[in-house]
Amino acid sequence: MQSAANAPWTIESAEQTYGIHDWSSDYFDIAESGEVMVKSTINGTLAKISLMDVIKGMAERDLHMPALLRIENILDHRISAINTAFQNAIQGAGYQNSYRGIFPIKVNQQAQVIEEIVQFGERYDHGLEAGSKPELIIALATQKSEHSYIVCNGYKDEEFIDLGLRAIQMGWKCFFVIETPSEVPLIIKRANELSVRPMLGTRIKLSTRVEGHWQNDSGDGSIFGLNSLQLIDVIDQLRSAKMLDCLKMLHFHLGSQIPSIYNIRQGAQEACRYYISMVEEGAAMGYLDLGGGLAVDYEGAQQRTTNSKNYTLDEYCSGIVEAVMQTLDPENVPHPILMSESGRATAAYSSIFLFNILDVAHFDPIASLKEPEPDSDEKLKNLKELLGILNLKNIQECYNDANFYRDEIRQLFQRGQVALRERATAENLYLEVLQKIQQLAPDADTLSEEVQDLTRSLSDTYYGNFSVFQSLPDSWAINQVFPIMPVHRLKERPTREATIADLTCDCDGKLDRFIGGESTLPLHQLIEGEDYYLGAFLVGAYQETLSDLHNLFGDTNVVSIRINEDSSFDFVHEIRGDSIEDVLTYVEYDTRAMKEQFRRTVEGAVRDGKISVQTRQEILKSFSESLTGYTYYETN
């Protein structure tokens, strides 16, 4: 993804460097101004807005960095795209039934996201999947159309079952997906007691294994779903209860972020075999729910790798439709309504996490420390000499010597035989040698791995105003790679290679895996007095609710915008991030009691003559103001 160092820097160079056309699915672009633009086609007109204008508008509304930006148009477009792609595949193949999309609430439970999905999705009867009682309550209270489906997965107690049965009583289409045979007696009992014919599905554990991050949790390793023995048990229980006519759906979920279309087709085929068997057993059937798994190409590599995928949305849909037809048609089984629960592919694109850079740690040698003193230790002088003799042919030798002399000086320092300034000069000369090696390296024939890795060890650390654990938890927990790039200054060549550290003072609180397998990201030198903004893209799925309060960095500000046809935009929702008082309350502190305790401590300092009453007042004011402030770094 790097562009040639000597060629003039253009917007195309920026596009290639950050791979924006590869991963953006055409939602983002770079303008001639060097700013990242968000694109949306409204009534046939292409509208574009600059992320820098959004950041400016947020600052004017006192909504500072870091902030999560949601773009409603993109969420709407994703729902349209998935529904339209399935409709096209169905029409193209002559499939004899329809598609119903379902959004799994777990992927982003935020009220504004679910409300937007329900409101926009109504035109497609897009439904919701609930994996718990709170999620079912969200679905029941938010869903507007009784034509949209609610699919209940997960273990269900009596309360959960009753909620779903009540929904059916009101004429809603609410499926219970049976995860284990032990759920069946309770469902039968409550359905009979409430005189409701339930809508039932069975979740099947397929033997198809998928590639990608969840490889080991797929196939026989899957913890969810019924095996064939359990499926028979469920069918027999329903038959004895005269409820086989209620068993209408087969559900499977191979795993999330499936990189290979081959696995998806294989899974659909195997599922259809179960579907046929259930029809043969006398179940009513009529619905096939393919779960999630439709991947997002975070890297834009179009490959069968964990953060990418080797198929388009159209290929996904036609692959499934064809696989189902090929399996069912020879058995003369009518085509079921196809359902899918795409979460990631629906929500990821619509959110961007924006943050500013607070500081940079460089590993550049300092000019004032380049010369050893005449009476300096010989090893220091040897280090200096390396700079004179280093050339293309002796890179490895000079690298080894530099390490040796630097380590010797460190040991002498530990024994008290070398002064701090001499040690600093040694470290500085060492850096100078490494930098020179780095400059020569591209022309060298062979290089050891450690020398090749110098870019990483000499890279800058850019300190970002955010917490990885709060805003990008999957990058820490499962090594998820998100596209990250500056959202402005892209007319300028980025001259630094950097990793990004967050505010948490935790060694895991960093970003050092970037798209294209890179361990550093090209960034611009900071300009004194100017903010530098980066965006982490495609973060709308899973990140918001998996986040945690590490170091008590709380929820960030959240802003939802809607882009208009004339390339203006409206701030449609704003949610202030957590205050310090909020996060303290989450961990059970009583902030009133804390204030009182602190007041007593400060009063004690007055009594002991350490501070004046006026200073006391100032201290108490700062304390109170801090409690209501943002948990992140604030610029006055």
Q: By C-beta, is 181 or 293 nearer to ligand PLP?
A: 293
CB atoms closer than 10 angstroms to residue 184: 21
Q: By C-beta, is 66 or 225 nearer to ligand PLP?
A: 225
Q: By C-beta, is 50 or 153 nearer to ligand PLP?
A: 153
Provide, rounded to whole angstroms, the least separation between the CB of residue 314 and ligand PLP.
17
Provide, rounded to whole angstroms, the least separation between the CB of residue 130 and ligand PLP.
10
Provide, rounded to whole angstroms, the least separation between the CB of residue 156 and ligand PLP.
14
E-strand spans in 109-232? Answer: 127-130, 149-152, 173-178, 199-203
Q: Which of helix, strand or coil describes residue 129?
A: strand
How many residues line the site for ligand PLP (CB under 6 A)? 17
Provide, rounded to whole angstroms, the least separation between the CB of residue 107 and ligand PLP.
5
And the tokens for 290?
């393919």
The window from 114-122, 335-343, 361-369, 483-491 that contacts ligand PLP (CB under 6 A) reads 335-343
The window from 343-351, 366-374, 377-385, 558-566 that contacts ligand PLP (CB under 6 A) reads 343-351
Provide, rounded to whole angstroms, the least separation between the CB of residue 79 and ligand PLP.
13
The window from 249-257, 396-404, 421-429, 481-489 that contacts ligand PLP (CB under 6 A) reads 249-257
Q: By C-beta, is 180 or 438 nearer to ligand PLP?
A: 180
Q: Which of 24, 110, 230, 256 lies at the binding interface for ligand PLP (CB under 6 A)?
A: 256
If binding is defined by CB under 6 A, does position 499 make contact with ligand PLP?
Answer: no
- Give the footprint of ligand PLP on residues 539-558 (CB under 6 A): 541
Q: Which of helix, strand or coil describes residue 579?
A: strand
If binding is defined by CB under 6 A, does position 104 make contact with ligand PLP?
Answer: yes
Q: Which of helix, strand or coil describes residue 70?
A: strand
- Give the footprint of ligand PLP on residues 517-536 (CB under 6 A): none
Q: By C-beta, is 306 or 425 nearer to ligand PLP?
A: 306
Rounded CA-CA distance 41/179 in Å is 42
Q: By C-beta, is 291 or 473 nearer to ligand PLP?
A: 291
| 8 A C-beta contact, residue 213 and residue 257 | yes
Rounded CA-CA distance 81/87 in Å is 10
CB atoms closer than 10 angstroms to residue 193: 10
358, 510, 514 from 507: Cα distances, Å? 18, 7, 17
Q: By C-beta, is 53 or 125 nearer to ligand PLP?
A: 125
Q: By C-beta, is 156 or 253 nearer to ligand PLP?
A: 253
Provide, rounded to whole angstroms, the least separation between the CB of residue 470 and ligand PLP.
21
Provide, rounded to whole angstroms, the least separation between the CB of residue 348 and ligand PLP.
8
Rounded CA-CA distance 449/504 in Å is 31
If binding is defined by CB under 6 A, does position 225 make contact with ligand PLP?
Answer: no
Alpha-carbon 527 to chain mean position: 29
If binding is defined by CB under 6 A, does position 201 make contact with ligand PLP?
Answer: no
Q: By C-beta, is 121 or 292 nearer to ligand PLP?
A: 292
| 8 A C-beta contact, residue 308 and residue 22 | no
Q: Are strands 337-340 and 28-30 parallel, antiparallel or unpaired?
A: unpaired
Q: Which of 341, 422, 460, 497 lies at the binding interface for ligand PLP (CB under 6 A)?
A: 341
Rounded CA-CA distance 213/326 in Å is 29
Q: By C-beta, is 350 or 504 nearer to ligand PLP?
A: 350
Nearest to 424 by CA among 436, 409, 414: 409
CB-side neighbour CA atoms (13 Å) of 541 = 25
Burial-class residue 248 by CB neighbours within 10 Å (0-12, 13-18, 19+). Answer: buried
If binding is defined by CB under 6 A, does position 76 make contact with ligand PLP?
Answer: no
* DSSP structural state of residue 333: P
If binding is defined by CB under 6 A, does position 213 make contact with ligand PLP?
Answer: no
Q: Which of 164, 343, 535, 554 lies at the binding interface for ligand PLP (CB under 6 A)?
A: 343
The window from 250-258, 310-318, 366-374, 497-505 that contacts ligand PLP (CB under 6 A) reads 250-258
If binding is defined by CB under 6 A, does position 143 make contact with ligand PLP?
Answer: no
- Give the footprint of ligand PLP on residues 116-135 (CB under 6 A): 129
Provide, rounded to whole angstroms, the least separation between the CB of residue 292 and ligand PLP.
2
If binding is defined by CB under 6 A, does position 107 make contact with ligand PLP?
Answer: yes
Of all helices (H) and strands (E), which one includes residue 45? Answer: strand 45-50
- Give the footprint of ligand PLP on residues 262-321 (CB under 6 A): 291-294
Rounded CA-CA distance 343/72 in Å is 16
- Give the footprint of ligand PLP on residues 415-474 (CB under 6 A): none
Q: By C-beta, is 336 or 343 nearer to ligand PLP?
A: 343
Q: By C-beta, is 164 or 343 nearer to ligand PLP?
A: 343
* DSSP structural state of residue 529: T
Biggest CA–CA distance in the chain, Å, is 98
Rounded CA-CA distance 586/477 in Å is 22
Provide, rounded to whole angstroms, the least separation between the CB of residue 565 and ligand PLP.
31
- Listed in sequence order, the DSSP H helices in 94-142 are 111-121, 133-142
If binding is defined by CB under 6 A, does position 336 make contact with ligand PLP?
Answer: no
Nearest to 61 by CA among 580, 631, 571: 571
Provide, rounded to whole angstroms, the least separation between the CB of residue 512 and ligand PLP.
25
Provide, rounded to whole angstroms, the least separation between the CB of residue 26 and ligand PLP.
20
Of all helices (H) and strands (E), which one includes residue 68? Answer: strand 67-71
Phi, psi (rounded to 5 degrees) for 535: -125, 135
Q: By C-beta, is 179 or 432 nearer to ligand PLP?
A: 179
Q: By C-beta, is 306 or 557 nearer to ligand PLP?
A: 306
Provide, rounded to whole angstroms, the least separation between the CB of residue 299 and ligand PLP.
16
Q: Which of 153, 208, 307, 318 lies at the binding interface for ligand PLP (CB under 6 A)?
A: 153
Q: By C-beta, is 75 or 541 nearer to ligand PLP?
A: 541
Provide, rounded to whole angstroms, the least separation between the CB of residue 613 and ligand PLP.
59
* DSSP structural state of residue 2: P
If binding is defined by CB under 6 A, does position 248 make contact with ligand PLP?
Answer: no
CA angle 99, 207, 254 (to 5 degrees): 40
Rounded CA-CA distance 429/19 in Å is 36
Q: Which residues of 213-240 are buried (b: 16+ CB within 10 A; e: fewer)?
A: bbbeebbeebebbbeeebbebbbebbee
E-strand spans in 86-228? Answer: 99-104, 127-130, 149-152, 173-178, 199-203
Packed helices 313-328 and 261-280: angle between N→C axes, nearest 10 degrees: 30
Provide, rounded to whole angstroms, the least separation between the CB of residue 344 and ligand PLP.
3
* Contacting positions for ligand PLP (CB under 6 A): 104, 107, 129, 153, 253, 256-257, 291-294, 341-345, 541
